[in-house]
Structure 1
Amino acid sequence: MLSVLVPVFNWDIRNLILKLHQQCLETGIEFELMAVDDFSTDPEIQSKNREIQLPHFRLIELEKNVGNAEARNILARTAKFNWLLFLDADMIPAQKNFIQVYLEEIQKNNFDIMSGGILYEDQVAKEFQLKWLHGKKTEEQIPGKDPYLEIRGNNFLVRKEIFLQNPFGGLPENYGYVDTHFGLKLKVSKATVKIIDNPCIHLGLETNPKFVEKHKKAVRNAFWMMNNQAEMAENLKIIRTYKKLKSLGLRKIFGWIFRKFEKKMLANLHSEKPSLFLFQLYKLGYICTLKEE
């Protein structure tokens, strides 16, 4: 019936697995719980995760790091049931009936993919403010007009056959627009998607500097899509804005401004009170420095 799949890298999953296991048992369904350790580098965390001894649970440890997207693909290929529920290791269900809600959606709907959404804690330490503010604004939101752009890879349910036809991957960087790229592939294949209210709380936040660097990867992925998958890239706001600037002859000017003021922008983005507006300008300026193929 249900394969619950968790890619993990340097994260203690004992609490998550225990909660998921208990909820699955309460539903009475046939299930499996499987985690793939993507060559974690923290021996203490690895040891803790190896302690998990539960019926229907399996931990697979990879011999090299393949990235989150490929770890999901490995989980999907290994899973034995027809429905796959993906959760990232740093997520925790917000509700005690999390599994039951997904099962009810399966019974009353005929969708291929359902995504339950993300919540963030009410307060976080100052060094995580940028990721927290960004997540609150862009992920804790009412679903938009296009459900394919709202799929969150860290909390979604999918038919196994649909996933295997549309696996994760295909972008040069391992972070940034990975979920969007996956959703757009599903759109092209005409798979059906529903966004539901069944969130998980995202616990694993990056520090401000690390989050900025990861988003530079995301910008490079968007830029690559523009050059190699132009039709898909039109769905990305940053690409539409970039093209508008280019058509107005402003791309080089924005690139120059970015280079001149990058250090000052970073001073704000790395601070305890980062500006999301400045963060958007930073990403737009950065993409204007990249060279088109």
Structure 2
Amino acid sequence: MLSVLIPVYNWDIGNLVNALHQQCVAANIEFEIMAVDDFSTDLNSKNANSAIHLPYFQLIELKENVGNAEARNILARTAKFKWLLFLDADMIPAQDDFIRLYLEQIKENDFDIMSGGILYENEVSVEYRLKWLHGKKTEEQIPGKDPYLEIRGNNFLVRKEIFLQNPFGGLPENYGYVDTHFGLKLKAAKARVKIIDNPCIHLGLETNSKFVEKHKKAVRNAFWMMNNQPEMAENLKIIRTYKKMKRLGLKKTIGFLFQKLEKTLLRNLHSENPSLFQFQLYKLGYICTLKTE
């Protein structure tokens, strides 16, 4: 019936697994919960996860780090049921009927992939403020024009055959637009997508400085898509803006200004009150410094 799949790296999944196990048992269904540990380096979380002993739970520990995308693919290939529910390790269901709501949707049988959305806590420490502000604005469930761009990799339900035909991966960096790339592959495959309100709360936030560095990877992925998968890249706002700046002859000027002002922008982004507007300027400036290989 249902395979619940969790890619793990340096995170204690005890609370998540227990919550999911209780809900699956209460639903009286055939299920499995499987986690792949992507060669974690934190011994405390590794030991905690190894100590989870529940019926229908399996932990696979990899001998090398393969990245989040390939960890997902390993989970999908190993899963034994036809419906796959992917959750990131640092998520927790927002509702006690989380599993039941997905099961009700399965009975409708009118989709191939479904995303339940994401929520953030009401307050966070200042060192996590940028990721928190960005997540609340761009990732909490907001109806959009294209549901394929709303698929969140940290909480989605998919038919196994559809996932295996359209696996995660294919971008040079392991972070950034990975979910978008996956959604656009599904769009090209004409998979049926459905967005519902069945969120998980995102607990694992990056510090402001780490979040900026990860988004530089995301910008590099977008730039790569523009040069290698231009039709997909047209769906990305940063690429459309970049092309407009290039047509207007502003690319070199913006790239030059970015290099002069980067430290000033970073002071704001690393501060207690980071500006999302300045974050957008940072990403646009950074992409204007990139060169085609």
TM-score, normalization by structure 1? 0.99
* Residues 23-32 or 104-113, more deviating: 104-113
Report whether the alignment pairs 1:248 with 2:253: no
- Whole-Å separation in 2 of the counterparts to 1:132 and 1:171: 25
* Residues 141-150 or 230-239, more deviating: 141-150
Q: Secondary structure at the match of 1:292?
A: coil
Q: Which amino acid aligns with 2:164?
A: L
- Whole-Å separation in 1 of the counterparts to 2:117 and 2:254: 34
- For residue 45 of structure 1, report the CA deviation from its aligned partner: 1.0
Q: Which amino acid aligns with 2:254?
A: F
1:129 alignment counterpart? 129
Alignment of 1:89-238 (within 5 A): 89-238=89-238
2:55 alignment counterpart? 55
Q: Secondary structure at the match of 1:100?
A: helix
Q: How many residues align?
A: 293
Q: Which amino acid aligns with 2:273?
A: K
- For residue 292 of structure 1, report the CA deviation from its aligned partner: 2.5
Q: Which amino acid aligns with 1:274?
A: P
- Whole-Å separation in 2 of the counterparts to 1:184 and 1:160: 17
Q: Which amino acid aligns with 1:222?
A: A
- For residue 140 of structure 1, report the CA deviation from its aligned partner: 1.2
- For residue 52 of structure 1, report the CA deviation from its aligned partner: 0.3
Q: Secondary structure at the match of 1:152?
A: coil
Q: Unaligned regions of 5+ residues in structure 1, if any?
A: none
- Whole-Å separation in 2 of the counterparts to 1:256 and 1:126: 30
Q: Secondary structure at the match of 2:215?
A: helix
Q: Secondary structure at the match of 1:240?
A: helix
- For residue 97 of structure 1, report the CA deviation from its aligned partner: 0.3
- The answer to whether the 8 A contact 2:141-2:197 is kept is no
Q: Secondary structure at the match of 1:35?
A: strand
- Whole-Å separation in 1 of the counterparts to 2:141 and 2:40: 32
- Whole-Å separation in 1 of the counterparts to 2:45 and 2:266: 32
2:46 alignment counterpart? 46
Alignment of 1:260-279 (within 5 A): 260-279=260-279
Q: Which amino acid aligns with 2:67?
A: G
- Whole-Å separation in 2 of the counterparts to 1:197 and 1:129: 25
- For residue 109 of structure 1, report the CA deviation from its aligned partner: 3.6
- Whole-Å separation in 2 of the counterparts to 1:141 and 1:82: 26
- For residue 141 of structure 1, report the CA deviation from its aligned partner: 3.5
Runs of 4+ in 1 over 2 A off after TM superposition: none
- The answer to whether the 8 A contact 2:208-2:270 is kept is yes
1:29 alignment counterpart? 29
| 1:43-74: CA deviation from partner (whole Å, max 9, x where unpaired) | 11101101100000000000000111100000
- Whole-Å separation in 2 of the counterparts to 1:163 and 1:180: 14
Alignment of 1:46-85 (within 5 A): 46-85=46-85
Report whether the alignment pairs 1:18 with 2:18: yes
- For residue 249 of structure 1, report the CA deviation from its aligned partner: 0.2
| 1:149-188: CA deviation from partner (whole Å, max 9, x where unpaired) | 0000000000000000000000000000000000000000
TM-score, normalization by structure 2? 0.99
| 1:248-280: CA deviation from partner (whole Å, max 9, x where unpaired) | 000001000100000000000000100000000
Q: Secondary structure at the match of 1:119?
A: strand
* Residues 132-141 or 114-123, more deviating: 132-141
| 1:70-119: CA deviation from partner (whole Å, max 9, x where unpaired) | 00000000000000000000000000000000000111242000000000
Q: Which amino acid aligns with 1:129?
A: R
- Whole-Å separation in 2 of the counterparts to 1:130 and 1:219: 17
- Whole-Å separation in 2 of the counterparts to 1:101 and 1:174: 31
Q: Which amino acid aligns with 1:188?
A: A
| 1:2-61: CA deviation from partner (whole Å, max 9, x where unpaired) | 000000000000000000000000000100000000000011110110110000000000
Q: Secondary structure at the match of 2:194?
A: strand
- Whole-Å separation in 1 of the counterparts to 2:145 and 2:105: 20
- Whole-Å separation in 2 of the counterparts to 1:44 and 1:130: 27
Q: What is the identity percentage for the equivalent residue pairs of Structure 1 and Structure 2?
A: 80
- Whole-Å separation in 2 of the counterparts to 1:143 and 1:64: 39
